[in-house]
Amino acid sequence: MFLKNNWKKLLIAFVGLTLAAAAGWAIKGKNQKVSTPVEEQVTFVKAEKVGIGDISSNIKVSGKIKPSKEVTLVSKMSGKVTQLKVQVGQKVRQGDLLVLLDDNDIQAQINLHEASIGVSKAGQQQAIIAYQEAEKNLARMKALYAQGAIPEKDLENAENAFAKAAASYDPNSVSTQTAAQLRQAQAQLDAARINLANTRITAPIDGIVASVNIEAGEMANPSAPLLTIVNTDQMIVEGNLAESEINFAKLGDKVQVEVLSASTKPFDGIVENVSPIASSNVKAYPIEVRIENSSQLIKGGMTAQITMVAEAKKDVIVVPKEAVLDKGEKFVVYVVQNNKAQERVVEIGLTTDAKAEITKGLEVGEQVVVSGQQYLSDGAKVKLETGGE
């Protein structure tokens, strides 16, 4: 009985010790940290080699297009339109007849003045004969008077007759009566011929008829435009530059002009006019750019955008603009060296929408991160994606 009880006590003690040991090991396992190796994070990036290139900043200006030449014609005189020779859209050459006015009255005036000139010339011829006869008679009377053959009164009569003839005609004077009458008649004829010429309204330039404001049978007068002719072989783009931009525009500069309603390709243009004063209407400086329009695709009134170079540099270190990060007080790029990103503080010069000039901080041939750089820090491990140089 005693042995049996002792055996039970020993068994219970063994089980208790076993449970206590297990519990101790469990608590120890909870309190101890298991150390496992941590793998360093790798960032995939794209990089490009730093190289030498050109960079330029541009100014973009909106503008309106007009023909290089535009002439509005008016009649120099009042008159009835007898013929209208052109219509809108018709091509004309310089000198072509456009409008013809009634010339019957003017033609009658010309006939009258031509007849008046004939009469004046006939009168002048008679005056010449009278002058010559009076001159001869005066000479003869002087000789007779010197011989005592005639009285003084006869000499005076001869002198008076010569003076009267000389008043009508004198080869040494242009102010005689017949000369004045002839000049007056000629002037009236010339004026009538000018009026006759003004009844024929012709094209002053080569071009296209843009508008017609009169019909045959209507009265033309000097205050009302008859028609407009434009030359569209060359066009003018009118734009305005701000005061911060105006000094970049120079006469003769080559520019690009986009006219999307005419072509998807830009047109070459030349700066033709740069105003030295600002327009009071828009508070900006007007400029004009001339472009060729041999294709006749560009029409007056279309909108355009002028792109001109404000500043340009050649053979400088250039990187994609997105490679440069603005960190407030400094600009940085990330350079790949030994599969790690090295943060590099740089100084930038000229920038555009796509490029940035680096004036300090990079060397030609280095690999600069152009994609993924926003996720990097100095010393971060990187791996170049396919396509990275």
pLDDT of residue 95: 96
- DSSP annotation of 38 reads P
Q: In this model, does residue 157 exceed pLDDT 60?
A: yes
Q: How many CA atoms does the CB half-sphere of 271 hold within 13 Å?
A: 22
| Element at 39 (helix H, strand E) | none
Q: How many CA atoms does the CB half-sphere of 229 hold within 13 Å?
A: 23
- Asked whether the beta carbons of 273 and 289 are under 8 A apart, the reply is no
Taking only the tens place, the pLDDT of each residue in 174-225 is 556 667 777 888 899 999 999 999 999 999 999 999 999 999 999 999 999 9
pLDDT of residue 1: 45
Confidence band (pLDDT; 50, 70, 90) for 163?
confident
DSSP states of 259-286 as a string? -TTT-SSPEEEEEEEE-SS--TTTSSEE
Confidence band (pLDDT; 50, 70, 90) for 101?
very high
Long-range contacts of 113-118 (CB under 8 A, 24+ apart): 113/185, 113/188, 113/189, 113/192, 114/189, 116/185, 116/188, 116/189, 117/182, 117/185, 117/186, 117/189
- Asked whether the beta carbons of 279 and 289 are under 8 A apart, the reply is no
Determine whether 191 is exposed, middle or buried from the number of CB atoms within 10 Å of its CB (0-12, 13-18, 19+): middle
User: CA-to-CA distance for 181 and 190, rounded, in angstroms?
Assistant: 14
Taking only the tens place, the pLDDT of each residue in 361-386 is 999 999 999 999 999 999 999 999 86
Q: In this model, does residue 75 exceed pLDDT 90?
A: yes
Supply 99's token pair.
Answer: 């409008």
Beta-sheet pairing, 42-49 with 381-384:
parallel
User: CA-to-CA distance for 65 and 55, rounded, in angstroms?
Assistant: 29
Compute the residue count for the chain. Answer: 389
Question: What are residue 345's phi and psi, to 5 degrees?
Answer: -75, 130
Q: Which residue(s) pair with 254 in the sheet? A: 270
Instruction: Name 10's Cβ contacts closer than 8 Å, sequence gap at least 6.
Output: none
Q: Is 176 or 291 the better-scoring residue by pLDDT? A: 291
Average pLDDT of span 69-75: 96
Average pLDDT of span 307-316: 91
For 80, 116, 186, 200, the CA distances from 112, given in Å and listed in that order, are 22, 6, 11, 21
pLDDT of residue 38: 53
User: CA-to-CA distance for 332 and 185, rounded, in angstroms?
Assistant: 92
Residue among 128, 120, 136 nearest 168 (CA)? 128
| Element at 143 (helix H, strand E) | helix 104-147
User: CA-to-CA distance for 378 and 325, rounded, in angstroms?
Assistant: 13
Q: Which residue(s) pair with 309 in the sheet? A: 58
